[in-house]
Every structure is written in C-alpha cells, then in structure tokens.
Structure 1
Amino acid sequence: MALFRFTKYFKIELLFFIVYFYVFRFLTDLEYNFWERKITGIAAKEIEYSILYGTVNIIAYSFFYKIVRQYLKTKRLLQFLLLIVLFLFCYSIFQKATDFLFYHLSFISKENRDFAYKAYMSKSIGYSFAYIFKEWLAVSCLAYFIYSDQQNEQMKVLKEQQLMSEIKYLKAQLHPHFFFNTLNNIYSLALKQAKETAPLIAKLAEMMRYILYHTNDKLVSLQDEIAFIQNYVEVERIRYRSAINIDFDTQGITAESKISPLLLLPFIENAFKHGIEDELVNGFVKIIVCESENELSFEVSNSIAGHKKAKGGIGLENLNKRLQILYPGKHKLEVSDHEDVYHVNLTLKLK
C-alpha cells in the first residue's frame, strides 16, 4: 500500500502548503526588496532561508492540520484544546532543535547559520503568538474546506444511492405491470387462433431482451428507446387491427441523445389501457416524439370511450416520481383531460 494516495484532497493540501509556506515567502521577499531596499530579485541567502524555515513550518503545521481535522470529525473540544497546548510545547522544542541543526550544517550560508545560532541561544519560546495564530487560521480554513467538501461528496453519494434504489423499485413495479398487459394481449389473440399471435410473441421477445440488457443503465440511446416503443405500438396495432387509428411519428432524433430507460412507455401504455381499451369504432392514439436542440418534446393523445373516464394508472404515478428524481427542474409535464380526449405533453432536457 502506498504511503500517500494522490487523491483530489491530497493534491489540494500539498498545493496549499507549498504555496503558503514557500511561494508567499518568496513573493514577500521580492516585494520587500523592491519597495524598501530598492532592488529587484532575491539574494541566495534569502531563498535559502525561505526554503529552510518554510520546510520547518510545513512539517510543524502538518501536525496542527491533523489536529484540526481530528476535531472536525470528533467534535471533542477538550481533547482539541489539550492537543493545542501539547502542540505549542512541542513546537517550541522543534524550533529550538531545528535552529541547533541549521547552525551545525556546514553547507548552509554563514548568515543563516548565525541567525539560527542566535535563535537557538535566545531565551524566547521560539515563536510569536500573533504570527502562529495567523498560521493557525490559514491551516484551519484549509481543514474546514476539505472537511466540508468531503461531507458534501458523501451526501451526494448517499443521495445517488437512494435515487438508484428508488428507481429500481419503480422499475420493479413497471416491468410486471407492462408484461401483464402484453401477455393479456397475446392470450386474447391465442384464444381466437389469430395469425398475429406468433409475430406478437416475437415482438414481446425483442422488448424483453431490451429490458433485460439495457434498462439497468442510467441512460440509454434515445433511438433504442424509440425502437422499443415502436415494438410496443406494433403489438397494440396487431391487437386492435383496424378498429383503432394509431399514429406514431418521430422527428429529429439523433444518435447521440440519451434518455432514462422506460421513461416514455407509461404514457403510451396508459393511452391504450386506460384510454381506448373499450373503444370499438372511431378510437385513436396519436404519438409524436420530436428532438430539437437537445430538448425532447413528447406528445400522446388518445380518445376516451364515452362511458369511461381517463385515469393515470400505476405507470403514470411511477413516471411522475422518476421525472422528479431524474430530471429535477429539467422537465415540464402538462396533462389535459377533456370529455373525449386525453392529452399529455412532456418536454425535458436530454442528458
């Protein structure tokens, strides 16, 4: 197992410490030299100093960063305060130890070795409280940012898992409902020994294959979805023969467009089952699917038998839930229920 995992958060943390403790020191020296000393550039000893003590601070404040991260996870204030006190004590010892080390490293410039010696011999605790609080604030902001972003990511994952569980539940309701209706169609034709029985079974097999191998995906090709709907319409066309006028029209469908599987079927299923099932003459179903500028327009109209009132059925209840989950704020559904015509108009932004 690798010592470090170069995750998104590790890269952010690494970038922060490099920029804050190295780059900002260099920029500060450049600005000071330009405005106060009237010179451009940075001397070698200044670069060396920034690297030496920048590294010291990166090591020290990495431990403080871990302390803050631990507090954000546990919310144990007393433990946090005790660790802060311990950090201050250890930081003072660490500063003295590094000053002692730098003084004895021969490859360091004489100016920086002299500075390290003076700091080591000083009776001070080795740091300024005002300065250290500034560093604490910056590092704490990083820790809180990482913690908040991780919380948001976890919440997003949980919502997606909940979403997928609910969609699977809705699909589980949809599949038996759909096949029950279609098998009823086949049964009624078989009783009549109609020649359309075999083609109807072949169409059903194609639809079952689509459901088995494609509907577990989050998105499917819009063209494949329409081909599935076309099979369903052909099944109903065979069932009703010439008694019902069935129109199915598509316009502008592109190969790149994707849609959530089985999203449109409940509307069409509803038109046949709850709309024209009792019609004997003059009944109709009209379906129009149109794509334009990455937006889908879907219309279904069906006649209603004079003695029967249109109703939504299980499929439409499930569909409304799926639309709210999959296309929040990206769909518009209009349903009009007149005395003899039921009309549905759905528009949604394709993914």
Structure 2
Amino acid sequence: MSFFYRYLKIVSSRRWLSVLLQFAAWAFIFSLPFLLQSSHKNAEPRPNQPQQWQFVLQYAGNLASWIALFYLNGWLLIPRLLNRRQYGRYAFWLATLVLVLFAFNALVFKMLMPTVPTSPYRVVMSLVFFLFPSIFFIAVSTAISFFLEKLRTDRLAKEQENENLKTELLFLRSQVSPHFLFNVLNNMVALARKGSDQLEPSLIKLSSLLRYMLYEAAEEKVSLNKELEYLQSYIDLQTQRFRKALQVNYTVGAIDGQYLLEPMLLIPFVENAFKHSATGQPGASVDIELRAEKSMLHLEVRNQYSPGSGEKDKSSGIGLQNVRRRLSLLYPDEHALLITEDKGWFIVSLTIKLH
C-alpha cells in the first residue's frame, strides 16, 4: 500500500506521465480481447457469426462506457458527493449513471447487430457482462480518488506547515533585533555619560550593525563571512565599552569554504556572554573560538560569571530561548548545542552542519 501511495505521489506530480500511463492502461484494456482471441485463430468460424468490425465497435462502446464511468465517478461524484458525506445522493447518481451507460450499450448493440440471428440480445446476460467490469472500474476510480485526495490534503498540510514555519522564523528573528538594540543602546548611553572619545567610532560600528540587520538579515541565508563581520563589529563595540574591565579573546580559525548560514544565529551566544560576564573581577574574560571545516561550523563561547551576584534582569534569557527554537526549526538533525556551567564558567558549544 505504501508503495502504491508513493507511486501515485510521483505520477500525480508529473502531469505528462499521468496522461501517458492512463492512455497506456486504456489501450491495453482495449486490446485485451484481441490478444485473447489470437489464441483461437485456428478455431473454425461458425455461420452467421458477428463480423469482426461489429465486435470491435461493440467492445469499443462498452469500453467508452467504462471510461466515462471511471472518470465521472472519480472526478465528479466522489469529490462533490461522497467526500461531502452525501452518501444517499452519491448512491442514487452512481446507480443512475450505470443504468444510463448500460442503456447506451444496449442501443449500440441493437444498431450494430440487428440481423445476426446467433447473437440475440439478452438483457440479464448483458447486464451481468456490463455490471461486473463496471464494479471493478468504480472500485479502482474510488481508490485512486481517495489516494489523490489524501495527496492533496498532505500537500496542503505541508504548505501550511511551511507557511507557519516561515511566520514563526520571522517572528523569532524580529525578537533578536529589539533585544540586541536594547543592549547596544545601553552601551552608547554609558559611553555618553563618561564623555568617552570612543562614542563616535562606536556609533559608526552601530550604524554598520544596523545596516546588516536591516538589509542582510532580511535574507533567508547570508554568507558566513558576512555573519563573522557582523560578529566582529559587535565584539569591537563591547570591547570599547568594557575596556580593561573585561578581557576579550576572539579567535577565528580555519574557514575552508564559502558557506551560507541563517543570519544573526550566532550573536545571541556572544551577546549573552558579555551581558552576564563577571566584569570588574580580576581575570574576568570572554573567550570566543570559531572555525568552519569540512562543512561543520564549531563555535565555543566561554565567560566567567558570579553565581548569585546581582539580580537577573527580566530580558535575560530571551536570546538563548530564541536561538534554541531557531536551531530546532532550521537545523533539526544537523546541529548539536551543549550549554554547561563549570566552576564559575558558563560554556556554550555549538556545532552546525553547513551547506
């Protein structure tokens, strides 16, 4: 059954293949009596037998009725009646359709074989001969119709899921910008209060960050190099802010190819490290290591923190919750995220398979 479902899924996605297979199937059914008849070629013909052309036309009339029954049932009655649970109306119209087509075949028989004494028209036998193939074609068209309806439902569900995913990703990405801007603007306020000469270069760095967020981050994917430039600008801003109060060690290892990455995927880890670092304490530092080798991105962010020192603000943790969700949506089976705390160190280790 699963093989048949996969087969129909492939055929329904290629209209030309579907038409070709239907034509081949009906051609085979039409030729079947003649293939069977070929095994009796040496049989002695009986007198007053119907002519070959009469037999061909009669069978063609039957086949035309079965084809009409197949498509009218599968493409008209089932979608409009059976799928809407109008079972009584469906049974009535299906029976009416069978009787009308049977009457059509009876008329064809009377027109083609009016003078053949050996072929008198017998209603019961003709009805049986017509009914059993009709039941077969009704069953096949019903099964195919149900399978196609399931394919359509699955496709719509998949499209809806993709739309929901895009909407959720846009929402999650929009959360990054206000959260990040809130922290950076706090940095600018601190520099302005100190009257620092680093305010102007910091504003220039901020403008480059905003340019990236407004234009580059709107893309589905950005190059890893652009994401690293954005990361470098952010780290420069934080280094200017903390100066000697915090040691920043940023190392970019080998990047052995041109990779694409979701924009603003790495910044929450770095942002969190600066936000919750033990600034002002002796030897306080933030260590960031990043490399991309053999289609694998490795990021490790370490920062010292003081457990229980200071009250955690209400916006903390938004970035990590956000990025966890984004990773699960974008790289469901292609990432590994490990967050640990060890002896006053908060350590984030992230691995992503890049494409």
TM class by smaller structure: 0.7 to 0.9
Unaligned 5+ residue runs, structure 2? Answer: 1-11, 43-51
2:276 is paired with a residue whose SS is helix
Provide the C-alpha distance between the structure 2 equivalents of 1:265 and 1:116, rounded to a whole number of angstroms: 90
Provide the C-alpha distance between the structure 1 equivalents of 2:116 and 2:187, rounded to a whole number of angstroms: 92
C-alpha contact (below 8 Å) 1:304/1:339 kept by paired residues: no
Q: Which amino acid aligns with 1:300?
A: V
> Which stretch shows the higher mean deviation, 307-316 or 171-180?
307-316
1:265 to 255, 267, 282: 267
Provide the C-alpha distance between the structure 1 equivalents of 2:261 and 2:115, rounded to a whole number of angstroms: 68
1:303-329 deviation per Cα after TM superposition (whole angstroms, max 9, x unaligned): 224664898611001112222222223
How many residues are paired up? 327
2:252 is paired with a residue whose SS is strand
Name the residue aligned to 2:257: 254
C-alpha contact (below 8 Å) 1:99/1:117 kept by paired residues: no
**CA apart distance, 1:209:** 1.4
Sort the Cα spacing of 1:131 and 1:160 in 2 relative to 1 into closer, same or farther, 3 A. same
**CA apart distance, 1:11:** 4.8
C-alpha contact (below 8 Å) 1:68/1:140 kept by paired residues: yes
C-alpha contact (below 8 Å) 1:99/1:120 kept by paired residues: no
Provide the C-alpha distance between the structure 2 equivalents of 1:116 and 1:342, rounded to a whole number of angstroms: 98
Provide the C-alpha distance between the structure 1 equivalents of 2:163 and 2:151, rounded to a whole number of angstroms: 18
Structure 2 counterparts to residues 57-206 of structure 1, below 5 A = 57-66=66-75, 67-71=77-81, 73-96=83-106, 103=112, 123=123, 124-125=126-127, 127-206=129-208
**CA apart distance, 1:10:** 5.1
Provide the C-alpha distance between the structure 2 equivalents of 1:116 and 1:197, rounded to a whole number of angstroms: 107
2:348 is paired with a residue whose SS is strand
Sort the Cα spacing of 1:118 and 1:95 in 2 relative to 1 into closer, same or farther, 3 A. farther
1:18 to 6, 18, 23: 23
Provide the C-alpha distance between the structure 2 equivalents of 1:224 and 1:36, rounded to a whole number of angstroms: 78
C-alpha root-mean-square deviation of aligned residues, in Å?
3.6
Identity %: 22
Name the residue aligned to 1:286: 287
TM-score, normalising length from structure 2? 0.78
**CA apart distance, 1:83:** 2.2
Provide the C-alpha distance between the structure 2 equivalents of 1:47 and 1:213, rounded to a whole number of angstroms: 70
C-alpha contact (below 8 Å) 1:21/1:57 kept by paired residues: no
Provide the C-alpha distance between the structure 1 equivalents of 2:67 and 2:325, rounded to a whole number of angstroms: 51
**CA apart distance, 1:37:** 6.3
1:315 to 313, 319, 338: 319
- Rg larger for: 2
Provide the C-alpha distance between the structure 2 equivalents of 1:262 and 1:115, rounded to a whole number of angstroms: 86
Unaligned 5+ residue runs, structure 1? Answer: 1-6, 39-43, 104-112
Q: Which amino acid aligns with 1:186?
A: M
**CA apart distance, 1:58:** 3.1
2:83 is paired with a residue whose SS is helix
2:336 is paired with a residue whose SS is strand
Provide the C-alpha distance between the structure 1 equivalents of 2:300 and 2:22, rounded to a whole number of angstroms: 57
TM-score, normalising length from structure 1? 0.78
